[in-house]
Amino acid sequence: MASSSGLAGLAVLVTAVLCLQLPAASRAQLQVGFYDTTCPNAESIVQQAVADAFATNSGVAAGLIRLHFHDCFVNGCDASVLLSVNPAGGDPERDAPPNNPSLRGFEVVDAARAALEQSCPSTVSCADILAFAARDSINLTGSDVFYQVPSGRRDGSVSNGTLAFTLPGPNLTAEELVKGFADRNMTAEEMVVLSGTHTLGRSHCSSFIVRNRERLASGTISPAYQALLETLCPANTNQTTNVTTEIDLSTPTVLDNNYYKLLPLNLGLHFSDDQLIRNATLKDSVDAFAANETLWKEKLVAAMIKMGEIQPKTGAEGEIRLNCSIVNMASSSSSSSARLIEVLRPGSDSEVASS
């Protein structure tokens, strides 16, 4: 395996290359070090909030990574997943079945938001807090994985629960998974790469138990594993059943490549996990990552950066939410807009920094 310093250096290089490949407009707005002059401690403040929560509950890391993913995959990375009320009416994303009751980590975002407001009010977006927190969670669980996060996102004001049903779910086929990621300009390999974060965290019985009975009949899940899951999950499991299990049986709190090693043993928890080895092209990626953890982590860094650039709101779009769970009041919105010149960095037409 590569040394920590070597992997960190490669992560910086990957960040620089990916950022330079962005369209010029995006390069001018999403930047590594976006808050260097307006809120120099922004990333360290978020990092501390994540570390404090992780010290009490290591499972929060998986939750924060998933929050960022579920935010970006619905109308782009604009913190819409954090809204508890949709101003346009109807349920917000976080209350829709694909997110409720499984999403967690909201309290960590709130803690970071409060600390940032003390240090540099109305400056750092909730969308950027999510991106930083996901990176910090990967670092805490992956030990040698750290990368620079291009920032400068702004927060949206709409959260439509119906759109949460477009998220890639645990019962999708390989073809459906590939299409879902392609719709967000992500490749099939990047889908396999990001699926590897399932090495962390837990899943509710409603996400796997019924479909796995079909897998048992087709011989695509270990009978002993399914028997274990049946003893765990109630016979009448439904969406509200609050029973969970680790997705990775062996190292559920460590960001490693064990997820890929479990799949050929028919120990993938979800139908969608198992689908990665039922498609020849996807299986090639699974085999490569199972054999080389460093390779997977390098590609994970690149995929996380790219995912964080899905349709961000930048410049004059959106707002800087003062409370991540609700949009600003009209007076606060006006105040935030007035501060726009303070939020945007001087010389924003320059290329992205790679420090």
Q: Mind telling me the catalytic residues?
A: 70
* Residue 248, phi-psi category: left (phi > 0), alpha (psi -120 to 50), beta (remainder): beta
- Calpha distance 23→329 (Å, rounded): 33
CB 337 within 8 A of CB 319: yes
Both tokens of 232, joined, read 């765990």
CB 135 within 8 A of CB 304: yes
* Residue 260, phi-psi category: left (phi > 0), alpha (psi -120 to 50), beta (remainder): alpha
The continuous run of DSSP H or E covering 244 comes out as strand 244-246
The continuous run of DSSP H or E covering 36 comes out as none
How many Cβ atoms are within 10 Å of 266's Cβ, its own excluded? 18
Supply the angle between the helices 280-291 and 293-307 in degrees, to the nearest 10: 120
CB 322 within 8 A of CB 164: no
Question: Would the CA dihedral through 117, 110, 340, 149 be positive or negative?
Answer: positive
- Calpha distance 317→341 (Å, rounded): 13
Alpha-carbon distances of 196 from 167, 266, 302, rounded to whole Å: 17, 16, 13
